[in-house]
Structure 1
């Protein structure tokens, strides 16, 4: 007697792919926290994390890009050593760099929205001005959250916080934007 078997797809291939890419970007975000340099005019180190935030928004779109960075925050908050310099736990989420950390998922969403022109992820191979504009918008989000968080935690005025927590990072952000454009353009060339 032959039996007939029926297979049922519980989770679609697209969802599995999106989850895997989000987990990969969360891991990449954690690894990039180990690449940090002291900033001579700020107590906050320069990391490569904002570059990964940009790339998550560009490659994954607003929903999955923001979700991947939120996953990174959850992992770090639960004790994985993924924050700048290998720190972990709740202290970084309420300390001097908390504003930056909380800005990252929002910035990834903003970058994704500008690049993809909406909530749905589409083709990320857009014009260079649009790509740069998306990352500048993401940088504004990071700087706004970072400045407000730094001012609140350190009990300093917004102007002082801006110069210490944002303006001090402009050259590094310009480098990260240029690097992201290069990565996206090299991927677009490889895809052809």
Structure 2
């Protein structure tokens, strides 16, 4: 059975045209992730931010290589002490807070979304929606899982998973619309 060729998302295509874009994409991605972490609704133990929307949208548009590089760079600069995480926090001490599971989950969920977009969803709306929803689920599960080690599974589910579900649904729909719009503006053909 023949396999479909790998789909190359719009920003990955852009980066292949010029080295300047290959350098600019991760820098812009880190800046967007840092900015979106500050757009938040205060909630304990971790605020609801715009970050998962930006993260997963970016992952679906950048391809897995640029996604992995960008998210790893974002986490690295945050752990080095720059205030790029929610609440302008940063430094290694963040890994001892409830945010740690979400921070690790950024990398896992973003790379997962990027790989599945390139190899399976390929900009088809329903599969892409499923991939973006899976990305949110993985991120929320990893975040709540870390909190469960400190507060117990029931408390983590009540405080660090359920409150995030409505926002995740809205951000998944918004990410799907954004990815399709950007790909159309970039001249990407109809999915097969």
Same fold (TM over 0.5): yes
Question: Which of structure 1's runs of 4+ aligned residues deviate more than 4 A?
Answer: 12-16
Alpha-carbon shift at residue 164 of structure 1 (Å): 1.2
Is 1:99–1:148's contact at 8 Å kept on the other side of the alignment?
yes
**RMSD after superposition:** 1.9
Correspondence for 1:35: 39
Alignment of 1:141-152 (within 5 A): 141-152=138-149
Alignment of 1:5-154 (within 5 A): 16-39=20-43, 42-117=44-119, 126-152=123-149
- Report the 3-state secondary structure (helix = DSSP H, G, I; strand = E; otherwise coil) of the residue aligned with 1:43: coil
Q: 2 CA distance for matches of 1:25 and 1:78?
A: 18
Q: 2 CA distance for matches of 1:149 and 1:162?
A: 11
**What is the number of residues matched between the two proteins?**
172
Residue 173 (1) aligns with residue 162 (2): no
- Report the 3-state secondary structure (helix = DSSP H, G, I; strand = E; otherwise coil) of the residue aligned with 2:46: strand
Q: 2 CA distance for matches of 1:179 and 1:52?
A: 10
Q: Which moved more, 1:178-187 or 1:97-106?
A: 178-187
Q: TM-score, normalised by structure 2?
A: 0.82
Q: 1 CA distance for matches of 2:27 and 2:167?
A: 26
Alpha-carbon shift at residue 37 of structure 1 (Å): 0.7
Correspondence for 2:157: 162
Q: 2 CA distance for matches of 1:95 and 1:60?
A: 30
| Distance 1:15-1:103 versus aligned 2 partners, 3 A rule | farther
Unpaired segments ≥5 residues, structure 2: 1-15, 188-192
Q: Which moved more, 1:102-111 or 1:160-169?
A: 160-169
| Distance 1:85-1:177 versus aligned 2 partners, 3 A rule | same
Is 1:114–1:130's contact at 8 Å kept on the other side of the alignment?
no
Alpha-carbon shift at residue 52 of structure 1 (Å): 1.5
Is 2:80–2:91's contact at 8 Å kept on the other side of the alignment?
yes
Q: 2 CA distance for matches of 1:67 and 1:185?
A: 23
Correspondence for 1:188: 183
Q: TM-score, normalised by structure 1?
A: 0.82
Bigger Rg, which one: 1
